[in-house]
A and B are shown apart, each in its own frame.
Chain A
Amino acid sequence: MASQPDKNDVVRVDFAFKRELAEKVEGDLASYCYQCGACVGDCPATTYSDGAFNPREIMLMVLYGLGDELIREGSILWDCTNCYTCHERCPQQVKPVEVIISMKNMLSDRGFAPTSAEKVIKTFEETGRTVPPNPAIDKQRAKFGLPPLPPVPMEEISKLFEPANDEGSPE
């Protein structure tokens, strides 16, 4: 990543960023990262971005607390392919992809999710599916002897979205 800190600079750790990340499910795992780089070799996003996306460097930024580099509009984190190879390779069980997703939660909290992601999320929140039902689909299903798509009890499911009072601050 182009903005990796110069080794002579004084690193100013953004503890507020680290605390907020640690509140997310598995957001605190980067603490175990010893920068071995096992996550990089088989990362398809690294290979196909000429190294612009680099999970080891992203974990280093988390360790340094350089939240501003990652938590901003157009964040490079959205270039992760979610292939889970880094999770597979990491000898420290850092699960870099999970730390990245936890940071995506922070991006979403701030309204920095890409429009395409927001569209899918909205469809799910409204219909309980990522592909909404419509009469054309049911007609196609009937051709295969399949019943129409069953309804999804959204009034029940939407009750699960709100955090509990003692859940910390997931929002």
Chain B
Amino acid sequence: MKKFAFFPGCLIPARHPAMEFAIRATLEKLEIEIVDLEGASCCPDPIYFKSKDKLSWLAVAARNLTLAEDLGLDIFTNCSGCTATLSETYHLLQDEELRDQVNQRLARVDREYRGTSRIRHIATLVRDEVGYEKVQESVVRPLEGLKVAIHYGCHLLKPSRIMQVDNPDNPEVMEKLVEALGASPVRHRNWYLCCGKACQDESIPNQMMHDLLETVNDEEADILGMICPTCFGQFDHGQMKIAKLFEEDFSTPPVYYFQLLAFAQGVPYENLGFERQRFKPKALQRFEEVAAG
């Protein structure tokens, strides 16, 4: 078993425990051993706290990284925002002057950032340490015919020099991960759009989400395949607002990839917390009926 330190962040453990459950259940089957990080805080978030004070943001992020350094482990994240904060910190602190500044603050709590732990997003962890074939082998009910519109979101891919995940203009990691489940990935025309969560002027994200849902709808996708919990919130709760505002009913349920993987690995639909979503991925239930029949 390969061992990695798990950085769960805030949104998934505190708002979407079903996602955390799915991560733990699926990684075990993929022979990844999870080591929990004691004393971890918010990454801190790359939108709000970073906009208050970049240096404090870096110092807190560096402290989180030292927790994995103490264990001599690489760290993996399940949220694109956490990945952005921690990867960017790793990148920026290669600058000695900035690292000294941050370490002066860390010295107050007897810590030192050394830059010895790499940061991996869970999607790349599975791609690089497990491999698509092994994911496919772990599937007990292939999701044949399920059309999954992929929503990459922004921070998984960009800035690519820092994130080092995939080609931001033509990524394939999510498509391959979805194909490994036997499902059909769909790239809709607005696949690259942002969820708009960080924008203050509501009319911008509203129109953007509307346009994105419209092209997903054009492709007749069954679900929206998500990899970021912030985007997930926008397209679950937020989709209700868009439906009301534009008087259009897209009803495209978002599903976090690792819940989809857990389902394909045989975890029953009712154990995956889908009943808490505003838009429930009922399209999955037909695969349960096939298995039962």
The minimal Cβ–Cβ distance linking B162 to chain A, given in whole angstroms, is 8
In the complex, the chain A residue whose C-beta lies closest to that of B56 is A161
For B18, list chain A residues within 8 Å (CB). Answer: 144
Q: Which of A83, A108, A159 contacts B52 (CB 8 A)?
A: A108
Q: Within A1-37, which residues are at the interface with B (CB < 8 Å)? A: 24-26
Cβ-based interface call for A60 (8 A) = no
With A88-B158, A160-B59: A129-B52 Cβ-Cβ less than 8 Å: no
Q: Which of B45, B105, B154, B160 contacts A130 (CB 8 A)?
A: B45
Rounded to whole angstroms, the CA-CA distance of A114 and B202 in the bound complex is: 13
Q: Which of B101, B192, B199 contacts A45 (CB 8 A)?
A: B199
A121-B52 in contact (CB<8A): yes
Rounded to whole angstroms, the CA-CA distance of A24 and B57 in the bound complex is: 12
B154-A82 in contact (CB<8A): yes
In the complex, the chain A residue whose C-beta lies closest to that of B101 is A167
A81-B42 in contact (CB<8A): no
Cβ-based interface call for B145 (8 A) = no
Chain A interface size, as a band, is 35 or more
For B63, list chain A residues within 8 Å (CB). Answer: 156-157, 160
B55-A170 in contact (CB<8A): yes
B41-A44 in contact (CB<8A): no
A124-B105 in contact (CB<8A): no
Q: Within A62-87, which residues are at the interface with B (CB < 8 Å)? A: 78-85, 87
Q: Within B27-50, which residues are at the interface with A (CB < 8 Å)? A: 36, 38-42, 44-50
The minimal Cβ–Cβ distance linking A100 to chain B, given in whole angstroms, is 9
The minimal Cβ–Cβ distance linking A117 to chain B, given in whole angstroms, is 5
Chain B interface size, as a band, is 35 or more
Cβ-based interface call for A135 (8 A) = no
Q: Which of A79, A145, A160 contacts B21 (CB 8 A)?
A: A145
For A49, list chain B residues within 8 Å (CB). Answer: 201, 203-204
Q: Which of A53, A83, A145 contacts B154 (CB 8 A)?
A: A83
Interface-side segment among B7-15, B120-128, B178-186, B245-253? B7-15
Rounded to whole angstroms, the CA-CA distance of A79 and B73 in the bound complex is: 38
B59-A25 in contact (CB<8A): no
In the complex, the chain B residue whose C-beta lies closest to that of A82 is B198
Interface string of A112-137 (1 = CB under 8 A from B): 01101100110010001111110001
A105-B14 in contact (CB<8A): no
The minimal Cβ–Cβ distance linking A85 to chain B, given in whole angstroms, is 6
With A117-B51, A120-B48, A159-B109: A80-B41 Cβ-Cβ less than 8 Å: no
For A117, list chain B residues within 8 Å (CB). Answer: 47-48, 51-52
Interface string of A135-171 (1 = CB under 8 A from B): 0010011011110011011101101111110010010
Cβ-based interface call for A101 (8 A) = yes
8 shortest A-B CB distances, which residue pairs?
A78-B200, A144-B21, A104-B51, A84-B158, A131-B14, A128-B41, A82-B198, A83-B194
> Could you list 20 examples of A-B contacts with CB < 8 Å?
A25-B98, A26-B54, A48-B207, A79-B199, A82-B46, A82-B47, A83-B194, A84-B154, A84-B159, A87-B158, A88-B158, A88-B159, A88-B168, A95-B159, A105-B54, A113-B51, A124-B44, A133-B14, A156-B39, A157-B41
